[in-house]
Structure 1
Amino acid sequence: MSAPIVLTRDAEPLPLRFQIGARTIAAVQRQLVRVPLSLDMVLDGRLPTLPPLARSAHGYAITSLPLALGSAMAAAGSGMIAHVRQGYTRHYADLTIGFDGYQAALSGNTRSGMKRKAKRVMEVSGGVLDVRRFRTPEELNIFHDAARRISLRTYQERLLGGGLPDDPAFLASMYALAAAGAVRAWLLYVSGEPAAYLYCPIENGTVRYDHVGHDPAFNDLSPGGVLMLEAMRDLYAEPGLRWFDFTEGDGQHKRSFATHGAECLDLLLLRASLANRATLAALGAFDRSAAWGKRTVARLGLAGLAKTLRR
């Protein structure tokens, strides 16, 4: 019988965001122990064992928990309040099927769309598809400089603080991974200008979709999608890789390039205090209102306008 999955982490301040699209309306800070499940853990389908909770911690933030384990995980937090933050498909691609098999697994619309977009990028760039690849510490230094300049212009950086990091801890990790041969990165240039980046660590044969972005000045060329397909082409040519993990959350880009998906949810388990009960009640009411608003906007055909206003 397999041993239980045990995670040990310290509590850290994490905001419970009242969020509409990319915009955070308000946030309540809680000291939470993060319990993120890797793709292997998701596919394994076993319940993670929660680490001990310090007296100062408010609870756990469990991400990418398989949907079928939701009730059991809530029961494991005996006496705690369980709150499902969101449900989504954890997308991933099988890197053992070869690039031809991968392309056959994509939809016809995705294949034809990427071919058309790559052709358009080449036309603008003088007939070349300028994709540059990085894996050594020296190469990653060059990559990071160009990718950070792109990241500063993205909405993820401006609104979510989710761009490519440049803090000492990240840089040290990046160089250590590069020295161990455990990271791959790409840049797409359009007419000599860096337009899109992709940064992916590798662990136990799983390539992780950690940091991605593109310069909004090139939005009409879909540089992120063009770069994604070229990165996948490279990965399928590299032996020993098993999965490409698109990580937590859903999105059209992930759906387009994945071959498989696992239904997951993000679960909060908080101590049953009055303050935590009030916070989760408010959060649940806000999320339901936001979902109702999203459905209403979609029904009225205003989704495009709403997306522009949120950003």
Structure 2
Amino acid sequence: MAAGRTALVELGRGARGVTSAQSWPLKFQIGARTLFSIRRRLVRVPLELRDVLSGDAPALPPLPPGADGWSVTSLPEPLVDAMLSTSPIAFVRQRYTRYHTDLTIGFDAWFAGLSGNARSGLKRKAKKLAEANEGSLDVRTYRTAQELAEFHGIARQVAERTYQEKLLGAGLPNDIAFRAAMQGRGTRGEAFGWLLFVGGSPIAYLYCPMTGGDVRYDYVGHDPAWSEWSPGSVLHMEAFRTLFDEPAAQRFDFTEGEGQHKRQFATGGTACADLLLLRGSLGNRATVKALRAFDGGVERAKRARDWPVLGKAMHRLRRG
């Protein structure tokens, strides 16, 4: 689709229409823990869900002086080989399924499509949280600019305690630009915020912007003290009740990466890959060589994690 390709070309362009590159960390990770990273100046080309489902190859914007290459994320697998041939140094960083949920089928049909174990598990967890809150779930939805401003302040109380923020630096942002963008989306009816309370205290949050009918799974977190109660899953189920009743919401985009929760809640998925397409410099060649060696070592360690001693050591390292 031409519209999808045009949108991708615009990504990474500065205010005067010149393609810009950002200093981006290429992380050497084991699980959620980053051991170290190497920075490269990259033009990012992230495919949105509509682009992934279209099956069209993205048009790469021109590289500005000093840029090392492109970072292409969520490229559908059938397009990978052709895209790899476009650059002197090409590297598949990760492969995964990009999951989504059809929000036009209705909540009852979606819930019935879950496995029996998933349905009973969600009902049991929701009942347990309701009992902890004097018999009913306290889930609040925030849509308008004013409501989202309130949501942000409360959600930040939860975000400060989450592993997403402490370990990954990926909690709900607290900068002025993010808050302004969130409220702007609220004014246009293009954002959803949800909070789960127990005893009047917030224990989980979910924030999702919406673009062209696609609701994006952007920021989520829960108080680790409530982890055994699965508040995130219960909150997401209740958020889906809202979305299935929202005519403007067409699909839920679980974005990049795998996860049991995504597989469980999704109605479809597309096999994708993240690519690094780099200029043929010595520094870039050394970087990719190091990444290949490290990722290969991690894969070998994963295969050996059932070994009693090594398995325990890998688990401690992955969790930090």
Task: Report the TM-score when normalising by structure 2.
Answer: 0.92
Q: Distance in 2 between matches of 1:175 and 1:194?
A: 21
Partner of 2:15: none
Judge conservation of contact 2:4–2:50 (CA < 8 Å) in 1.
no
> What RMSD in Å do the two structures reach over aligned CA positions?
1.8
Q: Distance in 2 between matches of 1:85 and 1:296?
A: 21
Choose from 21, 32, 37 the match for 2:42: 32
Choose from 159, 162, 166 the match for 2:167: 159
Match runs of 1:68-87 below 5 Å: 68-77=78-87, 80-87=88-95
- Aligned-pair identity in percent equals 54
Say yes or no: does 1:113 pair with 2:113.
Answer: no
Q: 1:75 to 1:250 in 2, by over 3 A?
A: same
Partner of 1:242: 250
Partner of 1:13: 23
- Extract unaligned runs of 5+ from structure 2: 13-19
Q: Distance in 1 between matches of 2:203 and 2:317?
A: 21
Judge conservation of contact 2:26–2:40 (CA < 8 Å) in 1.
yes
Partner of 1:22: 32
Query: CA offsets, 1:9-46, max 9 Å, x none?
Result: 12101000111111111100000001000000000000
Partner of 1:278: 286
Choose from 74, 92, 105 the match for 1:97: 105
Say yes or no: does 1:218 pair with 2:226.
Answer: yes
Q: 1:87 to 1:218 in 2, by over 3 A?
A: same
Partner of 1:289: 297
Deviation of 1:308 after TM superposition, in Å, equals 8.3
Q: Distance in 2 between matches of 1:205 and 1:3?
A: 16
Kindly tell me the number of residue pairs found equivalent between the two proteins: 309
Deviation of 1:307 after TM superposition, in Å, equals 6.2
Judge conservation of contact 1:199–1:210 (CA < 8 Å) in 2.
yes
Match runs of 1:183-202 below 5 Å: 183-202=191-210
Q: 1:298 to 1:140 in 2, by over 3 A?
A: farther
Partner of 1:51: 61
Judge conservation of contact 2:30–2:318 (CA < 8 Å) in 1.
no
Q: Distance in 1 between matches of 2:39 and 2:187?
A: 37
Deviation of 1:223 after TM superposition, in Å, equals 0.2
- Extract unaligned runs of 5+ from structure 1: none
Judge conservation of contact 1:4–1:47 (CA < 8 Å) in 2.
no
Q: 1:283 to 1:205 in 2, by over 3 A?
A: same
Deviation of 1:303 after TM superposition, in Å, equals 7.4
Deviation of 1:240 after TM superposition, in Å, equals 2.9
Query: CA offsets, 1:73-120, max 9 Å, x none?
Result: 11233xx21100000000100011111111122222211110010011
> More deviation in 29-38 or 141-150?
141-150
Task: Report the TM-score when normalising by structure 1.
Answer: 0.95
Partner of 1:147: 155
Judge conservation of contact 2:97–2:270 (CA < 8 Å) in 1.
yes
> Which letter maps to 2:60?
L
